[in-house]
Each structure stands twice: as C-alpha cells, then as structure tokens.
C-alpha cells in the first residue's frame, strides 16, 4: 500500500518504520511544546496524509515515553480517516511528575495503517445467548484459573 504524505511545515519529518517488520511508523513533532504534569496538548506534526479509501491510520502511544516519562496519548488509538486532509496532530498528556519538553523532530507517537471493514447494521428483536451473556467489566475475576 502506498500512502501520499505532504509536508506543510519545514521541520516536518515523514513517518518511517524504525526496524524491518515493525507494525508502527514513528511520528515526529514539528513544534516545541512543554507539558506540565497533568497537562495535555495537541502537538502538530506538519504533515497531511492521503490514505486509500479502504484504509485508516491509527495513532498510538510510544511505550518508551510512557515508561520513562509517564507520557501517553489521549483518544488512543486516534483514528485518521481516509477522507481527512487536515494536519495530523497528536494529543499528548503528561501523567509524569516532571514537565516534559517536546522538540521538533522528536518521536512522539507511532502510526499503524489498517484496512477498514465496513459493516451493515441490521436491527433485530433478539440476539443469541452465549456462555458469557451480559457479563461485563470484571465479570471474569482478577486471577487466572489453575
């Protein structure tokens, strides 16, 4: 699959895979932002992307930023639809205890390209029973069975 990407800022960096076989491409900031503890902000990438009609891009956190600094992304995964032609932004939040300074060129997120399956919704009066039934949050307990 080929994705067309346009740089709209001189400091924009094209998304790229760090290693062969990686699922996610690194996404970089094109601006400086300082996130105080508890703060969040939309960080610009300086990129506009054109996806094929049957694809989406999912913007996800980077595990190293989460582990080392308590940084993650809100609205995760963020979805970029094929019809969107605005600048890609990353909503970062600082759950850490110290301010975090984002700089241009810094890898702030990863992006996974996925194929979209569209469903046809059919209203019904009944749904089939299952062993789980309506069991939701916490219904399977907290410990693995032996």
Q: Is residue 67 part of a domain?
A: yes
Specify the DSSP element, H or E, that contains 68.
helix 63-69
Tell me the two tokens of residue 60.
């996800």
pLDDT tier, 133 (very low <50, low <70, confident <90, very high otherwise): confident
For residues 82 and 146, the model is more confident at 82
- Give residue 59's domain range: 4-115
The answer to whether the pTM exceeds 0.85 is yes
Give the residue carrying structure tokens 């309506």.
134
Residues 6+ apart with CB under 8 A from 74: 40, 91, 92, 93
Q: Is residue 143 part of a domain?
A: no
Q: Is residue 120 part of a domain?
A: no
Q: Pick the closest to residue 49 from 90, 92, 87 (CA basis).
A: 87
Q: Is residue 65 part of a domain?
A: yes
Q: Is residue 39 part of a domain?
A: yes
Q: Is residue 27 part of a domain?
A: yes
CATH number, position 100 = 2.70.40.10
Q: Is residue 69 part of a domain?
A: yes
Proportion of the chain above pLDDT 90, given as a percent: 86
Domains in the chain, number: 1
């Amino acid at each position: 699959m080929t994705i067309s990407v346009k740089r709209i800022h001189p400091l924009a960096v094209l998304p790229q895979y760090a290693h062969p076989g990686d699922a996610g491409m690194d996404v970089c900031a094109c601006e400086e932002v300082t996130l105080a503890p508890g703060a969040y902000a939309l960080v610009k990438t300086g990129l506009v992307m054109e996806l094929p009609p049957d694809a989406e891009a999912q913007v996800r956190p980077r595990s190293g930023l989460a582990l080392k600094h308590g940084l993650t992304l809100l609205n995760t995964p963020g979805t970029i639809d094929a019809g969107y032609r605005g600048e890609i932004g990353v909503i970062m939040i600082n759950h850490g205890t110290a301010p975090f300074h984002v700089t241009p060129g810094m890898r702030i997120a990863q992006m996974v390209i996925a194929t979209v399956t569209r469903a046809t919704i059919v209203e019904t009066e009944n749904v089939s029973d299952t062993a789980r039934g309506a069991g939701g949050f916490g219904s399977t307990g907290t410990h693995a069975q032996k």
